[in-house]
């Protein structure tokens, strides 16, 4: 995953771009959680990365998730909370797909 992909999706240092994939994700996530975007979710995670420009060191790569990285820790935590698997549309799978 590159900073460029995150920015193209609409996650930028100045916030989420109107009419972008990011704004669509934020809208869907907010509806699913009763009006708010929760900390640690896909939208918040990607926005943090887009604002900092720090995707290259997070462990989300084009060949998969790097062992021992922040991404692998997120994936493990998410898998534990969902009974052993990472759900489609969850934080890890969404961030990895972008």
> What percentage of the chain carries pLDDT values higher than 70?
94
Cβ contact 65:75 at 8 Å: yes
Q: Which spans in 1-98 are helix H? A: 3-8, 21-32, 42-52, 70-81, 91-97
Against a cut of 0.75, is the pTM above it?
no
Report CA-CA distances (Å) from 70 to 63, 76, 93: 16, 10, 14
Domains held by the chain: number = 1
Q: Tell me the range of 15-19, 68-72, 91-95 where mean pLDDT is highest.
A: 15-19
Q: Which residues span the domain enclosing 58?
A: 1-96
Is the pLDDT score of 57 beyond 80?
no
Is the pLDDT score of 68 beyond 80?
yes
21-52: pLDDT as tens digits: 889 889 988 888 888 888 877 888 888 888 87
Give dist(CA 80, CA 92) in Å, integer.
13
Cβ contact 50:11 at 8 Å: yes
Find residue 61's DSSP bridge partners. 64
């Amino acid at each position: 995953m590159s900073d460029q992909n995150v920015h193209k999706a609409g996650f930028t240092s100045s916030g989420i771009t109107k009419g972008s994939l990011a704004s669509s994700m934020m809208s869907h996530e907010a509806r699913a959680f009763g009006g708010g975007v929760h900390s640690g979710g896909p939208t918040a995670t990607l926005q943090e990365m887009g604002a900092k420009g720090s995707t290259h060191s997070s462990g989300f790569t084009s060949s998969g998730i790097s062992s021992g990285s922040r991404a692998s820790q997120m994936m493990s935590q998410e898998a534990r909370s969902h009974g052993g698997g990472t759900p489609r549309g969850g934080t890890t799978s969404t961030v990895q797909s972008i």
